[in-house]
């Protein structure tokens, strides 16, 4: 029995089944009991055949006991098999109940989102006096003696009080909200609820999270153009944004910053441990190259998380602008940097590649797989908003239920036999650490979860790890090259 914080919940893999670690471990033990009992029964019956007649004459009860033991073992084997089946049925039932609940909530929030979109202009008009009054109250509260007055104070408060931003219920609400973004947009455009469903995520997919992100980018681009026309762009020249407009892309320059010898990883935990740390001046991308005895290369590409959360792009390539661009399936600076790094590392179209990404890096890993430009054999994402992004290659997505970042990808609807989702709740029983606004998104927390994934007995997880075995030899010698990507120009 594991502590709740160590418990994984696995779903996907082409089945409805949602199973906890405890269920997977129990199923593993039952399969063991089934096969071992059966084998032992066979051996006991064989023993009966070679029983020495002299010994049998001296101990007549022994033979009867042997046959009785073999029968008991047969029964234990059958019962273990039935129990394992009922465990699988329970996991399937769980998945079906969960899917039914999610579908129900999704339809309801979709309708609400559409109605909200229809009413938004009127609500804004009618609510203007209340908004003004509310703003006045907030300003008054902020101005009271001792109250926080700057974003720095707010960030400090978030670090000291991370409970709200790391709450599973909040993350679930964010998932629903982002999944309903298409309905809200459809409502704003005056599309009736039924038609909204037909063209949204659940229908033709003309409006989804990607399209919503694209609209944000379009609006930002228009605002940037208007600002440029008005001469606003030059007004803040020399600031962190260097005169750039919010969420508007720039060229990127990728530099090789280091090369070192490396031994191939042997586990998911080791993959996670090699992920570049999120740092303002460090490398964001790492490419490991290994060669077979025949000289055939294979690569593991590590893609780090968002470094700069500001909407106005500064020098950092792994920033919010790249995030939103990638969410809309565009070529953000971080994506172009990854492509550049892979080209520099010598990756050719047919070379086997394993993509590993944390946070924004997971989004990039999926994008690279979707591009079809590389022979991606597997994708591992840690805390990434990729729940609705389909992949063809075997994909293992790891997400903490309290983490808001994967929730930004909406409900996990991507499916397929080779798509495995592992969830973990960090703070069910354990106290939440303070001093970090988003401890559930912490890379070290994901590294710890990756270790639990390695220990999982779930057959879908084991299948993914077996499939990634060519990259996880643990002894192949290779070279690791690190890259730093910076935005350039305007």
Partner 1 sequence: MQLSTELLPTVVRDDAPGWQGLARQSFDARCERVAADVRRVATSLDEISALIAGAIVSMGATP
Residues in the site for partner 1, rule: CB under 8 A?
7, 9, 18-20, 22-23, 26, 33, 37, 40, 54-55, 58-59, 61-62, 65-66, 68-69, 72-73, 75-76, 79-80, 82-83, 86-87, 89-91, 93-94, 97-98, 101, 401, 423, 425, 428
By beta-carbon proximity to partner 1, the closer residue of 64 and 133 is 64
What residues have CB less than 8 Å from 398, skipping those under 6 apart? 380, 381, 382, 383, 422, 424, 446, 449, 450, 453
The backbone region for 345, taken as left when phi is positive above 0, alpha when psi lies in -120 to 50, beta otherwise, is: alpha
The structure tokens listed for 235 are 């007004």
Q: Give min distance, CB of 46 to partner 1, in A.
A: 14
Cα-Cα end-to-end distance for the chain: 56
DSSP structure class, residue 138: H
By beta-carbon proximity to partner 1, the closer residue of 98 and 448 is 98
Q: Give min distance, CB of 87 to partner 1, in A.
A: 7
Q: Give min distance, CB of 101 to partner 1, in A.
A: 6
By beta-carbon proximity to partner 1, the closer residue of 27 and 324 is 27
Q: Give min distance, CB of 64 to partner 1, in A.
A: 10
Q: Give min distance, CB of 89 to partner 1, in A.
A: 7
By beta-carbon proximity to partner 1, the closer residue of 174 and 285 is 174
Q: Give min distance, CB of 83 to partner 1, in A.
A: 6
By beta-carbon proximity to partner 1, the closer residue of 8 and 287 is 8
Say if CB 23 and CB 90 are below 8 A apart: yes
By beta-carbon proximity to partner 1, the closer residue of 75 and 149 is 75
By beta-carbon proximity to partner 1, the closer residue of 98 and 351 is 98
By beta-carbon proximity to partner 1, the closer residue of 2 and 161 is 2
Residue 313 φ then ψ, to 5°: -65, 130
Q: Give min distance, CB of 72 to partner 1, in A.
A: 5
Q: Give min distance, CB of 21 to partner 1, in A.
A: 10
- Provide the 3-class DSSP secondary structure of residue 358: strand
């Amino acid at each position: 029995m594991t502590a709740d914080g160590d418990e994984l919940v696995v779903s996907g893999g082409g089945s409805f089944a949602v199973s906890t670690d405890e269920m997977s471990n129990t199923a593993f033990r039952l399969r063991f009991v089934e096969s071992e009992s059966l084998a032992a029964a066979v051996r006991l019956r064989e023993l009966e055949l070679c029983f020495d007649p002299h010994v049998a004459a001296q101990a007549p009860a022994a033979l009867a006991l042997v046959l009785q033991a073999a029968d008991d073992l047969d029964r234990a084997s059958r019962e273990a098999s039935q129990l394992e089946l009922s465990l699988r049925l329970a996991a399937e039932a769980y998945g079906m109940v969960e899917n039914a609940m999610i579908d129900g909530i999704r339809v309801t929030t979709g309708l609400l989102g559409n109605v909200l979109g229809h009413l938004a202009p009127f609500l804004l008009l009618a609510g203007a006096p209340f908004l003004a009054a509310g703003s006045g109250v907030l300003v008054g509260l902020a101005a009271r003696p001792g109250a926080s007055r700057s974003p720095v104070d707010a960030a400090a408060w978030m670090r000291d009080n991370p409970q709200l931003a790391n709450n599973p219920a909040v993350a679930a609400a964010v998932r629903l909200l982002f999944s309903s973004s298409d309905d809200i947009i459809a409502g704003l455009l005056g599309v009736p609820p039924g038609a909204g469903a037909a063209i949204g995520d659940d229908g033709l997919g003309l409006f989804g999270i990607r399209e919503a992100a694209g609209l944000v980018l379009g609006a930002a681009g228009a605002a940037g153009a208007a600002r440029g026309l008005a001469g606003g762009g030059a007004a803040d020249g020399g600031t962190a944004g260097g005169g750039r407009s919010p969420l508007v892309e720039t060229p990127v320059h990728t530099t090789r910053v280091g090369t070192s010898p490396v031994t191939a990883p042997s586990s998911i935990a080791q993959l996670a441990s090699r992920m570049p740390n999120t740092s303002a001046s460090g490398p964001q991308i790492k490419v490991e190259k290994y060669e077979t005895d025949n000289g055939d290369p294979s690569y593991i590409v590590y893609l780090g998380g968002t470094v700069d959360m500001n909407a106005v792009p500064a020098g950092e390539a792994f920033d919010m602008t790249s995030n939103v661009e990638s969410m809309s399936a565009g070529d953000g600076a971080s994506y172009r940097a990854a492509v550049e790094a892979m080209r520099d590392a010598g990756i050719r179209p047919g070379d086997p590649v394993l993509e590993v990404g944390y946070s924004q890096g997971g989004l990039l890993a999926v994008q690279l797989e979707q591009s079809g430009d590389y022979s991606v054999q597997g994708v591992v994402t840690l805390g990434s908003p990729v729940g609705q992004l389909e992949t063809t290659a075997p994909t293992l997505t790891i997400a903490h239920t309290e983490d808001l970042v994967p929730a930004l990808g909406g409900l996990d609807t991507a499916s397929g036999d080779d798509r495995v989702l592992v969830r973990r709740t960090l703070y069910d029983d354990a106290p939440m650490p303070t001093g970090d606004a988003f401890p559930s998104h912490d890379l070290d927390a994901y590294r710890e979860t990756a270790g639990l994934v390695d220990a999982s007995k779930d057959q879908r997880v084991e299948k993914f790890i077996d499939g990634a075995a060519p990259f996880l030899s643990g002894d192949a010698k290779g070279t690791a090259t690190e890259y730093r990507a910076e935005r350039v120009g305007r």
